[in-house]
Chains A and B, each alone.
Chain A
Amino acid sequence: MTPLFRFLFDALDARLRLRKPGRAVVNKVFPKHWSFLLGEVAMFSFAILVATGLFLTMFYRPSAEPLLYTGAAQLYEGRTLPAAYASIVELSHDVRGGLLFRRMHRGAAYLFMFATVAHLLRILLTGAFRRPREVNTHIGTMMLILVIALAYTGQNLVYDLLAGSSLRIAYATLASVPLIGDWLVVWVFGGEFPSEVVSRFFVLHILILPGLLTGLLVLHLALVARQRHTQFPRAGVDGQRYVVGEPLWPSQFAASTTLVLAVGGLVAAFSVLVPWSDVDLHGPLRLGQASNAGHAEWWLFWLQGAITIFPAFEWEVLGMTISHMLAFNVVLPGALFGLLFAYPFLERRLAGYDPDLDNHVCSRPLDVPVRAAIVLGVTAFVGMLTLAMTNDIVARGLRVSVESVMWFFRIAVLAVPAVVAWAAYARSRSVLRRRRAPGAAAGSGGDAPGGAAPANPKVSA
């Protein structure tokens, strides 16, 4: 410790009594595994989003009022644009560093989305959601919903041609809900479509959703600290009783600092090289203009993919209209998130755990056959729907008809997940059989907590 730091710490300690709680914090143990860093990547992406977002907010105009643009962008110089889009053009062409900040904001958002989903998959596959961590799993799932809502509102604040398509789909989706659809539309979009939506999405995007997300993040981390970290099974370690890993200071602090720099550096480097938020050629949202190149953002491909490949339908049932919009954009994601919330309890029922037992040791991904089949099968389903979104690009690239690509995906979307689930189940069973065979290494069964003998003398609660 440097003398200056020691002086400051002593002075603060004399007033705030930091030494004792401080010691507990810096000695907090972090088990070492690459997948335990995914959550941190998500957190650091969020930090970049907040920082760049603050900058962008200063220049953004949350309005669809027509505005005369005068600036350096030749395609728009002297033209009247919706104010929101005009401010995006200004940010890209007239504000120093604006384009880099816009691209970094989008790059960090992509990374945030990915890291959140990868973190979720890690939790699901390793069984870290089991008792006593069901509450934190549910908090995490709610955070994923907030991340999706943030990404969706942010993407439409740009108010470009793509936002037009995306808002129309959201409008149709809300309107497709039986009985309350019309009210939902008014509630979300306000009066006139789509000009009212900008100011509403703006408040959601910069204030309400990030506020909720920050609150849940604090709760999420508090619960991780309170419940200690899970760890992978190791021979000779009783993971049920103590954690083996590295302390926060200095090891984990150094690793996390490096990770902050890696996340920031990668997002910045990619943002210099990839124009993923450039919208000069898209043009502003104008009703009546649309483009067939208007795909959803990649993290919504799975929903648009389902709409794209399956046939459209509309049934009248008991005076309500049941449409494909409702089936694929409301029921499908609703079912997926319902499954996510229910899964910790569902698996306990299916795999027959002792409901009163706490689990602090992770399983490896194939340790529980039912889990491997469900998680990998559903992941494959969402993955195939995502790929199905590329049907027009595939058709052009391979010079085959769109119809045949569509039929390929119709079959693949149902067949591939079934095959994946079956293969995962079979493989998991054979792994378990081999491990239980006499002579196999003991003490690795994550689904049999407390199996290994506590042979290590360094034991603490």
Chain B
Amino acid sequence: MSRARLLPVAAWAAVAVAAALAWLAAGGPGPAGAVQQAPAEETPRGDRLYTTHCARCHGADGRGATDPHNRAPTLVGMEAARVDLVLRTGRMPPADPDGSGRGRSWSDRDREALVAHMTALFNLEGPLLGPEPGDPAVGREVFATHCAACHGYTGDGGVAGGGAIVPRVVGLDPAVIAQAARVGPFQMPRFAEGQISDEELGDVVAYLDEVAVEQATPLGLGELNPVFLSAFAALLTLAMILSCLFLAGRVTMFPDPEPPPDVDGET
């Protein structure tokens, strides 16, 4: 092969390698839009929201308070995903003074402005996650292995070890599910990429989407926890007792000792 004919091939190969390297640098294979770097931008809107809702406990410098009664942690260097998650689930600002309860529900625009503002101000770290739904069948297995022990096999929440009340995870934004798994908020453990890959997070999201729309009967019921199920069993037995009362003629719990109008029948 002549050198003149080899040159274009080598050039195209170089382009291909460069493109592959660029693609790997951008995050490699994975669900499209799974990872986006948190935008950092100080804005008047973000500043106003932070001052109004956050600064009272976390301080204007974001370092939390020195007052021992104030448990607000420092925000400097915190994961952006954690801040985003806490805002998305309405945990901050707290409804109750002791930091519990669900407070405000933020609009997307406010939340994004606030996170961007805080990222710029306090050097929040790491990306914001927003996985695309994947394969629900894989998601079910991942969920059963890693999540069901605390969140219930239908994602309905419940009570975990130490009496921790675990929230329902059906019908949440994909970003909430992915970020919660990576950040491990409150008592929840953190799941590294070696345990649940980014792709599997998308699968879990798809599975929970499936659970959310599941309607097994005309009443719109999905799969039932045995406790709720027992209520329907009780309803069935109640209907059965009513049938018996109806069939026995008189709806009285026990016959009174008065003689009936006529006594019939014999052996």
Q: Do A and B come from one complex?
A: yes
Interface positions of A (Cβ within 8 A of B): 27-29, 32-38, 41, 74-79, 107, 110-111, 114-115, 118, 161-162, 228, 232-237, 242-247, 255, 258-259, 262-263, 266-267, 270, 272-276, 278-283, 286, 288-298, 301, 364-365, 389-390, 392-393, 395-396, 399, 401-403, 441, 443-444, 456, 458, 460-461
Is A110 a contact of B233 with CB atoms below 8 Å?
Answer: yes
Q: Contact check, B263 vs A236: say whether CB atoms are below 8 A apart.
A: yes
Instruction: Indicate whether B248 reaches chain A with its CB closer than 8 angstroms.
Output: yes
- Most chain-B CB neighbours within 10 Å: which of A245, A246, A283, A292? A292
Do residues B244 and A38 form an inter-chain contact, with CB atoms below 8 A? yes
Task: Name the residue on A nearest B155 (C-beta).
Answer: A281
Task: Please tell me which one of the listed residues B141, B165, B265 contacts residue A245 in the complex, with CB atoms under 8 A apart.
Answer: B265
Interface residues, chain B, with chain A CB atoms under 8 Å away: 136-137, 140-141, 144-145, 148-154, 156-160, 163, 165-166, 207, 210-211, 214, 216-219, 221-230, 232-233, 235-237, 239-241, 243-245, 247-249, 254-255, 257-260, 263-267
A29 in complex: contacting residue of B151, B159, B241, B267, CB < 8 Å: B267
In the complex the two chains form, is B267's CB within 8 Å of A27's CB? yes
A289/B154 in contact, CB under 8 A: no
| Residues A41 and B141 in contact, CB atoms below 8 Å apart | no
B266 to chain A: which residues have CB within 8 Å?
A: 29, 242, 244, 458, 460
With beta carbons under 8 angstroms apart, the residue of A76, A278, A292 that contacts B149 is A292
Kindly list chain B residues whose C-beta atoms are within 8 Å of the C-beta of A77: 137
* Most chain A Cβ neighbours within 10 Å, of B152, B207, B216: B216
Do B267 and A461 touch across chains, with their CB atoms under 8 A apart? yes
Whole-angstrom distance from the CB of A53 to the nearest CB of chain B?
Answer: 19
Q: How far is the CA of A263 from the CA of B242 in the complex (A)?
A: 11
Nearest-neighbour CB distance to chain B for A374, whole angstroms, equals 20
A289-B144, A292-B150, A460-B266 are known contacts. Are A74 and B136 too (CB-CB below 8 A)? yes
Chain A nearest CB from B255 CB (Å) reads: 5
A310 to chain B minimum Cβ distance, whole angstroms, is 16
Q: Who on chain A is nearest to B252 by CB?
A: A34
CB-CB under 8 A for A29 and B265, given A111-B237, A293-B156, A441-B257: yes
16 contacts between A and B (CB under 8 A): A36-B248, A74-B136, A74-B210, A75-B136, A244-B264, A255-B248, A263-B240, A274-B217, A276-B233, A281-B222, A283-B144, A289-B145, A291-B149, A295-B227, A393-B225, A458-B266
A267 to B237 Cα, complex, angstroms? 10
Return chain A residues, CB-CB under 8 Å to B150: 292
Task: Check B140–A75 contact: CB distance below 8 A.
Answer: yes
Q: Are A33 and B258 in contact (CB under 8 A)?
A: no
Cα–Cα distance between A458 and B152 once the two chains are bound (Å): 65
Residue of B nearest to A390 (CB): B227
In the complex, are the beta carbons of B259 and A236 less than 8 A apart? yes
Q: Among B153, B219, B222, which residue has its beta carbon within 8 angstroms of that of A273?
A: B219
The reply to whether A276 and B247 contact each other, CB–CB distance below 8 Å, is no
Nearest to B166 among chain A residues (CB) is A292
B154: shortest Cβ distance to chain A, in Å? 5
Pairs of residues from A and B, 8 with the lowest C-beta to C-beta distance, nearest first? A293-B152, A298-B230, A275-B216, A34-B248, A392-B159, A444-B257, A295-B226, A291-B148
List B contacts of A234 (CB < 8 A).
255, 257, 259-260, 263
